[in-house]
Amino acid sequence: MQKSNKSRLVIIVSLLVAFFGWGGWAYFVNSSGYDPGTALRSALAQAIYSTVMTLYMSFAVIFIQRRTREWKFPVFWPPFFTVLHTAPILILVHVVNGTPNILKTVSLPIFVSIFYATVLTRAQTET
């Protein structure tokens, strides 16, 4: 498989996992003891946001990595700067949406986004 086709496949799989995985997570943590409509709305907000941010993070990490590769600890900066501005937006999306369990809804996705951004940075550093 050519590198560009492999990259596209990785991005497509990442987007699908972001949509269904994080949407499902948001539904799961907000379905217990709350209105099903609220849980579904929270899941949809999380699914859409996660999909858009996964695509955005893929490009943001590369953009930031190119500008910080000469800094000390070059693997640290792209995930740090990317998550520094995407995490507050995620929290704001759920505040505006009225998500019942914001902390449970966003904590795992934020942690995984740090990991995802770090893996992307490492992959870019090695190429």
CA distance 87 to 56: 13
Q: pLDDT grade, residue 1 (50/70/90)?
A: low
Q: What token pair was written down for 14? A: 């990442």
The tokens for 104 are 């449970």
Q: Is 3 exposed, middle or buried (0-12, 13-18, 19+ CB in 10 A)?
A: exposed
Average pLDDT over residues 37-47: 94
Q: Is the pLDDT reported for residue 34 higher than 90?
A: no
Q: How confident is the model at residue 14 (pLDDT cuts 50, 70, 90)?
A: confident
Q: Which residue has the tokens 């369990």?
A: 101
* pLDDT(4) > 70: no
Range of the domain at 84: 3-126
**How does pLDDT run across 110-125, given as a tens digit for each residue?**
999 999 899 888 887 7
* pLDDT (tens digit per residue) in 46-96: 999 999 999 898 889 889 988 998 999 888 999 999 999 999 999 999 999
Residue 73 CA to residue 69 CA, distance in Å, equals: 8
pLDDT band for 10, please (50, 70, 90 cuts). confident
Q: Are 87 and 110 a contacting pair, CB within 8 Å?
A: yes
CA distance 26 to 46: 6
Domains identified in the chain, total number: 1
pLDDT-based confidence at residue 7 (cuts at 50, 70, 90): confident
